[in-house]
Homo-oligomer: A and B are copies of this chain.
Amino acid sequence: MNILIKHIADYVGQRVTIKGWLYNSRSSGKIAFLELRDGTGFVQAIASQADLGDDVFSRVTSLTQESSIIVSGNVAAHPKKEGVFELQILSIEVVQLAQEYPITPKEHGPDFLLNNRHLWLRSKRQWAVQRIRDVVIDAIYEYYHQNDFIKIDTPIITPNACEDSTELFAINYFDEGEAFLSQSGQLYLEAAIMSVGRAFDFGPTFRAEKSKTRRHLTEFWMMDAEAAYVEHEESLQIQENMIVHIVQRCLEKCRQEFQILERNTEPLENIRAPFIRLTYTEAIKRLQSLGSDIQFGEDLGNDDEGLLTENEQVPVFIHKWPKAIKPFYMKIDPENPELVLNNDLIGIEGAGEIIGGSQREDDYETLKARIEEMGFKGEEYEWYLDLRKYGSVPHSGFGLGLERVVRWISGVEHIRETIPFPRLINRLKP
């Protein structure tokens, strides 16, 4: 019976066939130990010269790394390690004897590995990170569908910029002139929720950050969510419940991946709602008392985010920022017209900002004045302003950076390892 390694526990004592690749091997006299992988997991397969005969055994011991092989054998529980299973090989078919594989257990530089990303993905750590990424994605879909949000695919090709237009990739769009790759689907989601109530998007976004380092992705995946009749406080609850849900699902499904990554899961096990809430004003005071020279009205730097979270067990909301340093669409705090009802969510363990969100300005005149203050022409936002003419409602939303969440949960250092094929300022291939 053909099986996948992830299901091997169900087949103890039975003969099975596994189709995969040789990840690693060592031999000791008349016994060889092959580490097989099939994409769903890894298993040790044991070849015995006595069982297989001299010819077959000799072929087995000369298999190269990454050779594709189909192995049949009996499944046994590992004599000492609980939850570990082995395969006693009865027959083996070599699909292809691999040429000498360029990625070896020795250390390689990042450029070499990135040039060979199509192969590097097969390394155990990279495999584990991609599987965690998939579980994070799936948990997000699950959370939203359980909470009555539907997916609305917002457009990638857009006529105007949601945020800073200096960091946009431009394309020529037929007779319509220049168009830009989206940095956020938020404004479109705001239109959609006036139809469907609650919606999320989840797609690629693009930032042509010329000034940024080689460590910044130019293409990355964002999940935006938006909900009608949801105000600031409820939005924070939706955000924290989502993060708790994602972490729980990873803990349930990714034990093996965390082991491979040597990820201490204790900090993840302690994640529960409610998260810590600091107003921006409180955060500035706390930072100053901790020795930071940050002043009210300034954005937080990485060091500030680190200081605010270093002794915390759960992520930290920083909310109600000065409107002067935030985009026009955030709703003015009714208790203080210099502030907006927004929030960042700063992860623990150096994760940085993983979510940014706000209640949206729903008053037509206030929003129009804010747009004009920012120096935008009214015309390009006319459709957006329409949403405040025809049944405007209080509403809130936020955006989550997938790669930042995957980096935090998987515990890898570099964000480039969290996306299958990273696009960096100096890297477009493979």
- By a beta-carbon cutoff of 8 Å, the part of chain A in contact with chain B is 4, 6, 19-22, 38-40, 66-68, 95-96, 98-99, 101, 116-119, 121-122, 126-127, 130-131, 133-134, 137-138, 141, 145, 148, 150-159, 169-176, 179, 181, 188, 191-198, 203-204, 206, 208, 210, 218-219, 221, 228-229, 383-384, 386-387, 389-394, 419-421, 423, 425-430
Bound together, the chains give a CA A127 to CA B169 distance in angstroms of: 32
B383 close to A429 (CB less than 8 A): yes
Min distance, Cβ A65 to any Cβ of chain B, angstroms: 8
A175 close to B4 (CB less than 8 A): no
Min distance, Cβ A217 to any Cβ of chain B, angstroms: 10
Min distance, Cβ A158 to any Cβ of chain B, angstroms: 8
Which of A95, A141, A179, A195 has the most CB atoms of chain B within a 10 A radius of its CB? A195
> Would A195 and B423 be within 8 Å (CB), given that A96-B393, A428-B176 are in contact?
no
B386 close to A119 (CB less than 8 A): yes
Which of B4, B197, B428 is within 8 Å of A4, CB to CB? B197
Closest to A381 in B: B430
Extra pairs beyond A153-B420, A155-B219 (17, CB < 8 Å)? A4-B148, A6-B148, A19-B229, A22-B391, A39-B198, A66-B391, A95-B391, A98-B389, A98-B391, A121-B195, A126-B195, A130-B192, A154-B421, A174-B210, A176-B427, A179-B428, A188-B420
> Would A390 and B98 be within 8 Å (CB), given that A118-B383, A204-B204, A429-B159 are in contact?
yes
Interface majority SS (helix, strand, loop, mixed), chain A: mixed
Closest to A68 in B: B391
B171 close to A171 (CB less than 8 A): yes
> Would A38 and B197 be within 8 Å (CB), given that A156-B204, A426-B176 are in contact?
yes
Which of B127, B203, B428 is within 8 Å of A204, CB to CB? B203
Which of B96, B116, B127, B171 is within 8 Å of A195, CB to CB? B127
A152 close to B170 (CB less than 8 A): no
B218 close to A157 (CB less than 8 A): yes
Closest to A229 in B: B19
Q: Which residues of B contact A204 (CB under 8 A)?
A: 153, 156, 203-204
6 CB-based A-B contacts, threshold 8 Å: A119-B191, A121-B195, A130-B192, A130-B195, A130-B196, A156-B206
Bound together, the chains give a CA A19 to CA B218 distance in angstroms of: 40
Q: Which residues of B contact A138 (CB under 8 A)?
A: 141, 145, 151
A392 close to B96 (CB less than 8 A): yes
B428 close to A228 (CB less than 8 A): no
Min distance, Cβ A124 to any Cβ of chain B, angstroms: 10
Bound together, the chains give a CA A43 to CA B165 distance in angstroms of: 43
Which of A148, A175, A191, A221 has the most CB atoms of chain B within a 10 A radius of its CB? A191
Q: Which residues of B contact A171 (CB under 8 A)?
A: 169-171, 181
Q: Which residues of B contact A428 (CB under 8 A)?
A: 157-159, 173, 176, 179
